[in-house]
A and B are shown apart, each in its own frame.
Chain A
């Protein structure tokens, strides 16, 4: 009976060592992953000159991300933005007249066509810095499409910046390693110089006119909830990356040794051959051989 336990422990240890060897020889093993594809909620957005800057928090879509405390595991996030020219914004059209104040604000979608994606960058912040210094700036900028400077100031507080790599198809891709105390904020930069703005009722307008009207009393996006919602070809993939630590390897070796000791003990006590359980396999092989 001891050898049954011994072989079970040895099998688990061998599997552990094999997986650890594979993980150590590559850039790690991906264990859990979840995807989001399509639309994302923006944290803040701003327009200046011909440029459109849109910020989103990728961790907002994966609340459990960065919360793992298991040894050897780190949270990673792939942000992939496909080549996109059309962006749909869900905006709240809000006229602050006395009559409308009591009524719910109507939501409309605005299609921005012929946009050019210029860059994708992700910024990493320490959680405490983010809460105390970045979030207040983002909240101030949330309802103001001309608060470009505020957003730039917020991004300037980042501990590190990861630039997206352009792919031949015209998209961008970036991989982030997110720790327990890290907050990521990604920024999409668009060139809106040749964009067209199309309202859901079919009305077309040049971008500068649209953004100028955003400042007027007629349209004030982000004044009330929901915040601007962006539909574009973005793919977010969060996963756990396993890279073995030295202690894990030591523990796996100890498990292997414990199993081997149990098997050896059983062999010594019973005197039966150690691989007796393979006799059926051997018999089948012998039959096939003859």
Chain B
């Protein structure tokens, strides 16, 4: 009973603090997600009817993914600023170090889900039949790809606490890794980090082992984030 009560209190704190991050601390995460969602409708309108079988949908997924990566970078940069500024205040009781780090992750993942939901619902507004062209595997690849980038950026923010390093990490993942897809052998090595690019480069074919590998990598990065929060956030 006591354990259940403690868990509920922690969940409540996590929800409250992640809302605070999304709306005030996170560099305008809510506003940025809303702007990207509005753009997602425009992208959907202009791209979804294009091409056969669904090259327009590929472009749509790619553009929203790039847009979300910019939001993730801005959120992680805001975390670096916070760690250098007022974080010490929040890291005193009752907010724990892990809840602090997880709140930033939850805020980023919530904006990711908001953008993706807006994208799906935009397609449904235009024509519900368009949803049928998006497979579950492709949707999972988009979500895993964005989640991996968020985890990586937050881990880098906790570890190095420098915005310039964050920008370099973001550019390396966003552009450097993408360049490796030009080589088939190198692509196989990095496809776990960018599952969406793997799906797009294979013309929409979803490789389930790659998705499973990406999920494992996400779990490993989450564990790393947890460990970094405990080891690097001393008050």
Residues on A close to B: CB < 8 A?
1, 3-5, 7-16, 19, 29, 31-32, 64, 67-73, 240, 242, 248, 251-252, 255, 270, 272, 276-280
- The answer on a CB contact under 8 Å between A4 and B49 is no
Does A12 lie within 8 Å of B40, measured CB to CB?
Answer: yes
Contact assessment for B118 and A9 in the assembled complex, using a CB-CB cutoff below 8 Å: yes
- In the complex, what residue of chain A is closest to B30 when comparing beta carbons? A277
Are B45 and A242 in contact (CB-based, < 8 A)? Answer: yes
Count of B residues near A, CB < 8 Å?
Answer: 46
Q: What is the CB-to-nearest-CB distance from B13 to chain A, in angstroms, rounded to a whole number?
A: 13
Interface residues of B in 33-54 (CB under 8 A from A): 33-42, 45-46, 48-52
Which of B81-89, B120-128, B224-232 contacts its partner?
A: B120-128
**A4 touching B124 by the CB < 8 A rule?**
no
Q: Are B28 and A251 in contact (CB under 8 A)?
A: no
In the complex with contacts A1-B106, A73-B49, A277-B23, A7-B33 CB distance below 8 A: yes
Q: A1-B106, A12-B37, A70-B127 are in contact. List 15 more A-B contacts (CB 8 A).
A: A3-B19, A4-B111, A8-B33, A9-B121, A19-B42, A71-B127, A248-B126, A251-B124, A255-B125, A270-B19, A276-B23, A277-B22, A277-B23, A279-B23, A279-B24
Question: At the interface, yes or no: B159 with Cβ under 8 Å from chain A?
Answer: no
Report B114 CB to chain A, min CB distance, Å: 4
Residue of A1, A69, A252, A280 near B125 (CB, 8 A) is A252
**CB-CB nearest in chain A for B111:** A4
Structural contact, B31 and A278, CB atoms closer than 8 A:
yes
- The reply to whether A31 and B45 form a contact with Cβ atoms under 8 Å apart is yes
B110 near A5 (CB under 8 angstroms)? yes
Given A11-B118, A70-B130, A255-B121, CB of A1 within 8 Å of CB of B22? yes
B29 contacts chain A at the CB level, 8 A cutoff: yes
Is the Cβ of A280 less than 8 Å from the Cβ of B106?
A: no
A272 to chain B, nearest CB (A): 8
* Residues from chain B with Cβ under 8 Å of A272 in the complex: 19, 23
B50 and chain A: residue at smallest CB distance: A32
- Which chain A residue shows the least CB distance to B130? A70
Known contacts A1-B106, A4-B110, A248-B125; A12/B118 CB under 8 A: yes
Contact A19/B41 with A4-B29, A278-B31 known, Cβ cut-off 8 Å: yes
Say yes or no: B129 contacts A69, CB within 8 Å. Answer: yes
Closest residue of chain B to A276 (Cβ to Cβ) is B23
- The residues of B that contact A248 with a CB separation of less than 8 Å are 125-126
Q: Does B199 contact A (CB under 8 A)?
A: no
- Do A5 and B117 touch (CB < 8 A)? yes
The reply on B18 being an interface residue by CB < 8 A is yes
Give the 4 A-B residue pairs with the shortest CB-CB distance, closest first. Answer: A8-B114, A11-B34, A8-B37, A277-B30
Decide yes or no whether B15 CB sits under 8 A from chain A. Answer: yes
Q: Please, which residues of chain B bring their CB within 8 A of the CB of A280?
A: 24, 28
**What's the minimum C-beta distance from B77 to chain A, rounded to whole angstroms?**
14
Determine if B45 and A19 form an interchain contact, defined as CB atoms under 8 angstroms apart: yes
Q: Does B222 contact A (CB under 8 A)?
A: no
Q: How far is the CB of B60 from chain A (nearest CB, A)?
A: 13
Residue with the highest number of chain B CB atoms closer than 10 Å, among A5, A9, A29, A67: A5
Query: What CA separation (Å) do A7 and B16 show in the bound complex?
Result: 18
